[in-house]
Amino acid sequence: MEKQLTSKLTKDKLVEMYKRMLEIRFFEEKVFDLYAQNLVPGTIHLYLGEEAVAVGVCSALKRDDYITSTHRGHGHCIAKGAELKRTMAEILGKKTGYCKGKGGSMHIADFTIGMLGATAVVGAGLPIAVGAGLSAKLRKTDQVVACFFGEGASNQGTFHESINMASTWKLPVIFVCENNLYAMGTRQSRVMNIENIADRAVAYGIPGAVVDGNDVLAVYETTQKAVERARKGEGPTLIECKTYRHKGHSRVDPAKYRPKEEVEEWLAKDPIKRFKEKLLQTNTLTEAEFQQIEKEVLDEIEEAVKFAMESPYSAPEEALEDVYT
Amino acid sequence: MRKITYKEALREALKEEMQRDSTVFLLGEDIGRYWGGAFKVTEGLAEEFGDERVRDTPISESAIIGTAVGAAITGMRPVAEIMFGDLTALAMDQIANQAAKIRYMFGGQAKCPLVIRTPFGAGVNIASHHSQSLEAWFMHVPGLYVAVPSTPYDAKGLLKTAIRGNNPVFFCEHKLLYPVEDEVPEEEYTIPFGAADVKREGADVTIFATLYMVHKALNAAKQLEKEEVDAEVVDPRTLTPLDKQAIIRSVKKTGRLVIVSEDCKTAGVSAEIAAMVAEEAVDYLDAPIKRVAEPDTPIPFSPPLEQYIIPDEKAIMKAVKKVV
Model-wide pTM > 0.80: yes
Name which of A103, A128, A133 is nearest B69 (Cβ-Cβ): A128
How confident is the model at residue A4, as a pLDDT?
A: 53
Give the DSSP per-residue string, A136-158: HHHTT----EEEEEETGGGGSHH
Chain B contact for A203 (CB, 8 A cutoff) = no
Give the burial class of B195: count Cβ atoms within 10 A of its Cβ; 0-12 exposed, 13-18 middle, 19 or more buried. middle
Residues of B in contact with A134 (CB under 8 A): 67, 70-71, 76
Residues of B in contact with A121 (CB under 8 A): 93, 97-98
CB hemisphere CA count around A212 (13 angstroms)? 12
Q: Which domains does chain A have, with CATH numbers?
A: 2-308 (3.40.50.970)
A223 with A56: CB under 8 angstroms? yes
Name which of A68, A102, A133 is nearest B104 (Cβ-Cβ): A102
Q: What would the pLDDT profile of B138-197 be if each residue is shown by its tens digit?
A: 999 999 999 999 999 999 999 999 999 999 999 999 999 999 999 999 999 999 999 999
CATH code for the structural domain at B3-183: 3.40.50.970
Minimal Cα–Cα distance from A139 to chain B, Å? 8
Q: Do A325 and B111 touch (CB under 8 A)?
A: yes
How confident is the model at residue A2, as a pLDDT?
A: 47
Residue pairs spanning A and B at CB distance below 8 A: 144
B38 with B184: CB under 8 angstroms? no
Task: Find residue B94's DSSP bridge partners.
Answer: none
First to last CA, chain A: 52
State the angle between helix axes of A157-168 and B61-72 in degrees (0 to 180), rounded to the nearest 10: 70
d(Cα B149, Cα B211) in Å, to the nearest integer?
A: 6
Instruction: Among A245-254, B122-131, B314-323, name the one with the lowest average pLDDT.
Output: A245-254
d(Cα B71, Cα B110) in Å, to the nearest integer?
A: 12
How confident is the model at residue A8, as a pLDDT?
A: 84
Chain B contact for A105 (CB, 8 A cutoff) = no
Q: What is the CA radius of gyration of chain B?
A: 19
How confident is the model at residue A1, as a pLDDT?
A: 42
* Size (chain B), residues: 324
Query: From the CB of residue B176, how many other CB atoms can be counted at a distance below 10 Å?
Result: 18
Q: What would the pLDDT profile of B4-27 be if each residue is shown by its tens digit?
A: 999 999 999 999 999 999 999 999
- The arrangement of strands across the sheet holding B205-209 comes to B197-200, B231-235, B205-209, B257-264, B290-294
Q: Do A130 and B78 touch (CB under 8 A)?
A: no
Residue of A nearest to B57 (CA): A165
Query: From the CB of residue A156, how many other CB atoms can be counted at a distance below 10 Å?
Result: 18
* Size (chain A), residues: 325
| Strand locations in B33-76 (E) | 54-56
Give the DSSP per-residue string, A155-170: GSHHHHHHHHHHHHTT
Chain B contact for A239 (CB, 8 A cutoff) = no
- Using CA atoms in the order B16, B22, B27, B31, what is the torsion angle rounded to 10 degrees? 40
Domain regions of chain B by residue span: 3-183, 197-323
B150 with B215: CB under 8 angstroms? yes
CA A24 to chain centre: 10
Q: Do B70 and A127 touch (CB under 8 A)?
A: yes
Query: From the CB of residue B313, how many other CB atoms can be counted at a distance below 10 Å?
Result: 17
A28 with A47: CB under 8 angstroms? yes
How confident is the model at residue A251, as a pLDDT?
A: 80
A133 with A144: CB under 8 angstroms? yes
- Pairing status of strand B77-81 against strand B54-56: unpaired
B230 with B204: CB under 8 angstroms? yes
- Pairing status of strand B238-240 against strand B145-147: antiparallel
* Tens-binned pLDDT, residue by residue, of chain A (325 aa): 444 555 589 999 999 999 999 999 999 999 999 999 999 999 999 999 999 999 999 999 999 999 999 999 999 999 999 999 999 999 999 999 999 999 999 999 999 999 999 999 999 999 999 999 999 999 999 999 999 999 999 999 999 999 999 999 999 999 999 999 999 999 999 999 999 999 999 999 999 999 999 999 999 999 999 999 999 999 999 999 999 999 999 888 989 999 999 999 999 999 999 999 999 999 999 999 999 999 999 999 999 999 999 999 999 999 999 999 9
Angle in degrees, CA A190, A192, A195, rounded to 5: 105
- Give the residue from A70, A78, A10 showing the smallest Cα distance to A279: A10
Catalytic residues of B: 130
The domains spanning B3-183 and B197-323 adopt the same CATH topology: yes
CB hemisphere CA count around A230 (13 angstroms)? 33
Instruction: Looking at chain A, list the stretches that DSSP marks H as alpha helix, in order from N- to C-terminal side.
Output: 2-8, 11-36, 51-58, 74-80, 84-91, 125-138, 157-168, 188-191, 216-231, 260-268, 271-281, 287-310
Give the DSSP per-residue string, A41-95: -S-----TT-HHHHHHHHTTS-TTSEEEE-SS-HHHHHHHT--HHHHHHHHTT-T
Chain B contact for A225 (CB, 8 A cutoff) = no
Cα separation values, B234 from A149, A279, B102, B183, B272, Å: 48, 73, 33, 19, 15
d(Cα A81, Cα A61) in Å, to the nearest integer?
A: 11
Q: Do A66 and B75 touch (CB under 8 A)?
A: no
Give the burial class of B1: count Cβ atoms within 10 A of its Cβ; 0-12 exposed, 13-18 middle, 19 or more buried. exposed
Tell me the CATH architecture of domain B197-323: 3-Layer(aba) Sandwich (3.40)
